[in-house]
Structure 1
Amino acid sequence: MGKVRRAVAAISTAVFLISGSPSFGQYLTGGAREQFIKANTASCMREKIKDQEAKIIPNSLFETHYCRCYASTLADRIPAADLMNHAYPTDNPTTRAASQLCYQTMKAEALRLYKEGRYPKE
């Protein structure tokens, strides 16, 4: 899933550059945050197609519980100014922790749905 994480980080930077110039230490809120999450979720889903491991995961599960979770977590934990200025590496403790958190969330949801007999087909 490293390719997905790198692609999402690249899109993140582009969205921030378009969204304006938040001050140092400020995190995205409101419409800018939603725009960031939407753009990164779309990018993540495009990268999913290329990832052999992720291909087998139903889109509905991956989009909500991995891609959207990952984008939301980045928006919550990395200041907008750092993203705009490329002041963080795409593979760092914050992005790795976000990826792991969202992967575990997706896995737990998949197990819950499977146990209920409602595991999504797509």
Structure 2
Amino acid sequence: MTDLKTVFEDMAPMTPVAGVALRRVSGEQAMIQHAVVAAGAAIPAHSHPNEQFTLVLSGRLRLRLGEGEAAKDYVMVPGEVLHIPGGMVHGGEALEDTVAVDVFAPPAESTGLDAPKG
């Protein structure tokens, strides 16, 4: 049997945008992501087909879901979970140094934030 344990700190982070470090582990039906976001770092608006749940572990994160007048802002603090349906445009910024865990289903090689451009 392969080793089923992963230590995020042992993984090299992906840095799709300045101030954002991501580490991911995928299974057959879901993917978990450890996100470290520096205060002031922007998360550009993006979408992906995966359903996403974001749990803030420390810091504060402002996330905007939707577009235009229908958009809604959520300020997330430790212990709060935000559900982002698949295909919904979302983005935001870290109001403080923030650590969050995202769960995606189904898993994917990339999400809208780190998808290849072009």
- TM-score normalised per structure 2: 0.24
Which structure's CA Rg is the greater one?
1
Give the helix-richer structure, 1 or 2.
1
TM-score of the superposition, structure 1-length normalised? 0.24
Whichever structure has more strand as a proportion of its residues is 2
